[in-house]
Amino acid sequence: MTSGSAGTELDAEDGKLLTLARGAMARAGASSGAAVRDSDGRTYSAGPVELAALQLSALQVAIAMAVASGAEGLEAGLLVGGSGTTGDRADTDPGLAALTEVSSSAYAIVADAGGGNPRRLDQK
C-alpha cells in the first residue's frame, strides 16, 4: 500500500472504525489503536501488544482477532496514531501487509493520534 491523499472524508462505517480505534487506544493507554471490519460487517478493535516476548501493532492485533473469530475476509482497516500514520511513512505498519494478505481488496485508512487527517492508502 502506498500513501494516499490527505483529508479523506469518512463515511459512517469508516467513522465507526475511527471511533472504535480511538476507544481501544484510550483503554490501552497506548499511542495507537486500530479497528477492522470483516466481510460480514463485524468489527474488531485493539491496541498494540508490547511484551518482552511479543510485539504486535494495534492493526496486527485487530486482524488477528478477526481471523481467530472466523472472519473469512476483511473490508477495511483503520489505524490511528502509532508509527506509519503520518508523513511519507504511512505504509510502514506491519499490519497493512496482514490486511492485504487476508483480503487483497481490503483498504486501509490511517489517521493521526487525535483521529484527524484520515487518509485512505492506495493498493500497490
pLDDT digits (tens, 9 = 90+) for 8-56: 689 999 999 999 999 999 999 999 999 999 999 999 999 999 999 999 9
- Each residue's pLDDT tens digit, 73-86: 999 999 998 655 55
Q: How many residues in total does the chain contain? A: 124
**Closest to 26 (Cα-Cα) out of 86, 113, 110:** 113
Provide the whole-model pTM. 0.87
